[in-house]
Amino acid sequence: MAVLSLLLLLWLVEVTAAVDISPRIRAGSRWRGEKNHSDDLERGNDSGTPLPTSDNGDNSLGYTGSRLRQEDFPPRIVEHPSDLIVSKGEPATLNCKAEGRPTPTIEWYKGGERVETDKDDPRSHRMLLPSGSLFFLRIVHGRKSRPDEGVYVCVARNYLGEAVSHNASLEVAILRDDFRQNPSDVMVAVGEPAVMECQPPRGHPEPTISWKKDGTPLDDKDERITIRGGKLMITYTRKNDAGKYVCVGTNMVGERESEVAELTVLERPSFVKRPSNLAVTVDDSAEFKCEARGDPVPTVRWRKDDGELPKARYEIRDDHTLKIRKVMAGDMGSYTCVAENMVGKAEASATLTVQVVSGKLKFYWPSSNHRITVTRTSPLSIHPLPCPSTSQLPSFTCY
């Protein structure tokens, strides 16, 4: 009996020596970054559940029997996803790539919740690609439901641990239709500055602003033109700056155009032809020419600087010429052409000189007959005195 007991004891020792304790994996381990479970393999897990093994001694988690394969290693992320801004209805991809042995499985989480893909539901618009990237057939986004917008991470796992990627936000681009401020019509004179201002529709990303003139993109390389924020500034306007302007707001969704605003560039009056100085004789006609331009077309009028225009003896023609008939000595003076419109006034003056021709008077005295020789008709009084005269002629010779 003692011999039998000894043999049984020796058999038990031999069997025990031949058996290796199966490693255990601690359950419930999840954290950001990479975690190696090799220490857990030595200690076993809290639940005492053995790792699964296959009949042939190799299993899907990458070890043979109960032993860790030396070439196996835990996952690590080699390509992290990047932030995306995508238009509604457009496709998008969040990239993620991981290494590990055995090859890790990849899952995606949004806001801490696992993302459902075509692996779970063939009708899903989200697909898990073989590389581990998450592909959206189209971005779904509505006023009440925004299932695709959020913060994503990808998680790579194998039996040695898990790795979690950096956060990546997926945002949906939008661009509203209505401008917060449309530009207004502007009216300036040539040489003055002009400013138009708009505020584009709300959008994400924030729309950039450009301008069009008469349907053509505005050349902001012109040193007179500055576009800053929603303001269009032209420092020194020219006549050809006039036209129809629209403000354009653009982001990746597309572009929106504002209502049309008109820039009117007015022109102060200027003279194409100025009046010239004239010298005429009494009873002749005098004509002063004057031609002006401007926008709007200026009105033209005449004035005599030291008095009124000669009534009933002057006319202003359609071409703004001033004509004075039967000029008299009292018409001498300065005449001014005045051109005026809503943005300014211009004046040009000329002088009228009236020449009187000298006369000759001959007296045969004391004869009752006398003879007066003059070159023109003029009022004349004769008195029985040497060289009497009250003529309006400025000078004459008396014999």
Parse the chain into domains and list their residue ranges.
23-174, 186-265, 274-355, 359-399
Q: Which of 276, 267, 286, 265 is nearest to 339 (CA)?
A: 267
CATH superfamily of 186-265: Immunoglobulins (2.60.40.10)
Residues 42-66, mean pLDDT to the nearest whole number: 39
**Between 369 and 186, the higher pLDDT residue:** 186
Tens-place pLDDT, residues 133-187:
999 999 998 877 888 999 999 999 999 999 999 999 999 999 999 999 999 999 9
Q: Examine domains 186-265 and 274-355 and report if their fold is the same.
A: yes
Cα–Cα distance measured from residue 262 to residue 253, given in angstroms and rounded to the nearest whole number: 28
pLDDT value for 185: 97
Cβ neighbours around 62 below 10 Å, total: 18
Span 128-136, mean pLDDT?
Answer: 96
Average pLDDT over residues 286-305: 94
Per-residue tokens: 261:
């605003």
Q: Which pLDDT value is given to residue 220? A: 75
pLDDT in tens, 309-364: 888 899 999 999 999 999 999 899 999 999 999 999 999 999 999 988 765 444 43
- Greater confidence (143 vs 59) lies with 143
The answer to whether the bond into 296 is cis (omega within 30° of 0) is: yes
Q: Which CATH architecture has domain 23-174?
A: Sandwich (2.60)
pLDDT tens digits along 208-227:
999 999 999 998 788 999 99
Q: Which of 152, 157, 113 is closest to 135 using CA atoms?
A: 152
The residue with greater pLDDT, 299 or 32, is 299
CATH class held by domain 274-355: mainly beta
Q: Distance (Å, rounded) from C-alpha 319 to C-alpha 349?
A: 17
What residue type is 183 in one-letter code?
A: P
The average pLDDT across 260-265 equals 97
Residues paired with residue 65 on neighbouring β-strands, in sequence order: none
What type of residue is 339? A
For 149-158, letters b (16+ CB in 10 Å) and e give bbebbbbbbb
